[in-house]
Structure formats: structure tokens, C-alpha cells
Chains A and B, each alone.
Chain A
Amino acid sequence: GNSVTQMEGPVTLSEEAFLTINCTYTATGYPSLFWYVQYPGEGLQLLLKATKADDKGSNKGFEATYRKETTSFHLEKGSVQVSDSAVYFCALSANEKLTFGTGTRLTIIP
């Protein structure tokens, strides 16, 4: 079956540091890939997406590239802010069914 594996947290960084959260997937066919963000007490928000190999999704300074050869979709941001503190989920969609990773808690300290 389909599955998503993402780097375990928690991750703690200083403000303006470079961020990478690793995500790899297993799927049959050609899934779409997503990153979602969850702020405390809220639902998941779609952060960015990529629907085919070599696509780069980007939003709010975050980026991720769909790498079919390594089955990866790592999340990156060049300079994080305190407001980026949240839980980040990698997900894939195949046949309209979303499969999520376990989430990575990110804390940014001033």
C-alpha cells in the first residue's frame, strides 16, 4: 500500500536558520504530493503541492521538489521565522485517497 515516511521531530532551530524536513514515499502509480501545516488548535492547511515528477511546489518561502528517482519530497526554507513554528505533515494522494506522514513538530526560537 501507499505510505509516507517523514523525519521525526521535534526540530528546534534559531530564527533565520535553514530548514529541511525530509519526506519519502512509497506508492504505486503517480501520486500527487503535498505538505500541510498545522498551527496549535487549528486544522491542517495546505502549504504546497506538486502533481508530477520534477515539479516544484512553493508557498510562503517554503519549497519542495517532487523527486521520482529518489521518491522524495523534502521541505525546505532558507530563513525560518518564529511564526513558522507548527507541525508539518507530508502527504500523498493516489486514487483520491490522502495518506499522511506522522508529522514533524518545528519550533523556532528567537
Chain B
Amino acid sequence: DAGVIQSPRHEVTEMGQEVTLRCKPISGHNSLFWYRQTMMRGLELLIYFNNNVPIDDSGMPEDRFSAKMPNASFSTLKIQPSEPRDSAVYFCASSTRDRLGAFFGQGTRLTVV
């Protein structure tokens, strides 16, 4: 198995532009998580899905952020418009229901200038 695949690995964009981050979870996993990591705030859960349905989006910072999971093998996190304070590493993770932990992708390092 290739693990959780995220793209792109690095993204540099100008303030005000739309940014879309992509994630392919591990096949057979039915939960998917989006996290944001910064030096100041550490690792924050933004949203998670179970069976493609958003269960908890209370961590999404504001309306500029949106996430979708149109099918079991693909999810996107979109920021529109982007701001410099959105600069961070964004991780996607997936898991099964067996309480054995989540598996993380390599992350997308986003820089908004």
C-alpha cells in the first residue's frame, strides 16, 4: 500500500488566491482527517469525515476554509481567499474503525506571500 498520498508537497501562492490541497487515503480506511501544523499552535484538527460524511468541522478556522470528500478515495481542502496567516503544513490522515490509530500523509507545506 502506498500510504496516504497528499499533493502538492509544497505550494507557494499570493495572498487572495485560491488554494486546493488534495488527499488520497489508504484504501479501505473509512475515516479521514485534515490537520494543520504551525509552530505557534501545534497540531490542530480542522475537520474529519467518516464514510465520506463530515462529522466534525469545528476546527475549521473560518468560512474561507472548506473541505469535501466526494468519494472514499479522495478529499480536498480549499482555502479561498488565502491569507499569509494560513501558511502552515497541512496533513491528511486516514484510519479504520478498529481503534488502531491513524496514518498520516507527508503533508503539504503552504506558504502564502
Contact = CB atoms under 8 A, between A and B. Distances in A.
Contacts, number: 53
A66 interface: no
A59 to B, nearest CB: 12
A99 B102 CA distance: 11
Contact of A51 (B97, B99, B107): B99
Interface string A26-62: 0000001010100000111110010100000000000
A100 B43 contact: yes
- Give the interface size bracket for B toward A: 20 to 34
B97 to A, nearest CB: 7
Given A42-B106, A43-B106, A103-B43, A97 B100 contact: no
Given A32-B100, A44-B91, A51-B100, A98 B105 contact: no
Interface of B: 4, 31, 33, 42-43, 45, 48, 50, 55-56, 91, 93, 95, 97, 99-107
Pick the 7 closest A-B CB pairs, nearest first: A43-B104, A32-B99, A44-B104, A46-B101, A102-B42, A100-B43, A43-B106
